[in-house]
Structure 1
Amino acid sequence: MPKVDPEALRAYQRTVQAQLDKLEDEIISQMRNGQPLGKLPAFGVLDGSEQARTTYTTFHETTWNNLQALREALDGIVNSLEDTAKQHEDSDDASGQDFDNQL
């Protein structure tokens, strides 16, 4: 069975959490309705403006969905690391108690 380094788990968890926070605070927040990247540009009424509007809308929606998927993945990693660290701590506690009981 591979050995678990709880400090390495916690360090990686902090790194992933920092990336998740950055994604949520600096990128996703700017793409919400009413924010700078959440507003549809004024394409006007010239030839091609309708196509530009459609292309932009599709791009924005795809980007939003990809960012949400990334956010969910990062959140899942953070939760998995937390669960793994907790299981390791519980296992260490149980092993310590077994050892003490055998003395």
Structure 2
Amino acid sequence: MGRWLELKVVKPSGLSEQRARFASKEVILNYFEELKTIFDKYELHNKPHHVYNIDENDINTEYRPLNIVAGFDARPQVVMAELSKTVTVIGRGNALG
């Protein structure tokens, strides 16, 4: 690791198979194109108090992935089975802060 300064040892985050299928560059770009269309249609560009994000996140209480080597700019993920003990957390916030 001393010779490869651009690498680090990290623990990958868990990603379900279903989410892994939709984590492609094309799907993400399409999402932001559709989001721009909605912002234009409802004139939300200067109204951050009207823009909310709500997210549900499952925290797996059993699976602990091994450490892996990855680049500093990488966000490694490991695909996990969806049938395991989890805790669900729901959070929300608006673009104003």
TM-score by length of 1: 0.26
**Radius of gyration: which is bigger?**
1
Relative contact order, CA 8 A, sep 6+: which one is greater? Answer: 2
Task: Report which of the two has the higher share of strand.
Answer: 2
TM-score by length of 2: 0.28
